[in-house]
Amino acid sequence: MKVKIVNNSRFALPEYQTPLSAGLDIRANIDESVTLRPLERAMIPTGLFVELPEGCEMQIRPRSGLAAKHGITVLNSPGTIDADYRGEIKVILVNLSNEPFTIEAGERIAQMIVARYEQIEWQAVEELSSTERGAGGFGSTGK
């Protein structure tokens, strides 16, 4: 699938880190470093603008290394970029650790995944079909 992209950052286009990676790593396009104190959040620009095909969305997800090693994650995870959005992609990062964390220019801060979706049409009914699980949720199927 081809996706149009405008790269106004000073860094290379997002890329897959391995041949079977699902997500493309995206970088912080900032002029000076940003330090997130514990529980602080910031919207980090990427300098990227995309035109997605109709029926696709782009999901912005945390990088597992930043989350596991430093407690840095994407606050609205996954963030969704709709096919009709033409603004700059920005990433809302939050520091869930007990230590300050500094984001440097060009640092890989998140990953993006393009996914197809379908829009639905509601069918209002009086009741739903029954299943073995029924209304059980939140741990009802085991530990």
Q: Tens digits of per-residue pLDDT, 67-98?
A: 999 999 999 999 999 999 999 999 999 999 99
- How much is the pLDDT for 136? 77
Query: DSSP alpha helices (H): ranges in 34-101?
Result: 64-70
**Is pTM, for the whole model, over 0.85?**
yes
- How much is the pLDDT for 104? 98
- CB–CB of 39/45 below 8 Å? no
69: nearest Cα among 119, 108, 41: 108
> Residue 117 and residue 83: Cα distance in Å, rounded?
11
| Domain covering 4-116, topology | Deoxyuridine 5'-Triphosphate Nucleotidohydrolase; Chain A (2.70.40)
C-alpha dist (Å) from residue 125 to 3, 4, 69: 39, 41, 48
Where do the structural domains in the chain lie, given as residue ranges?
4-116
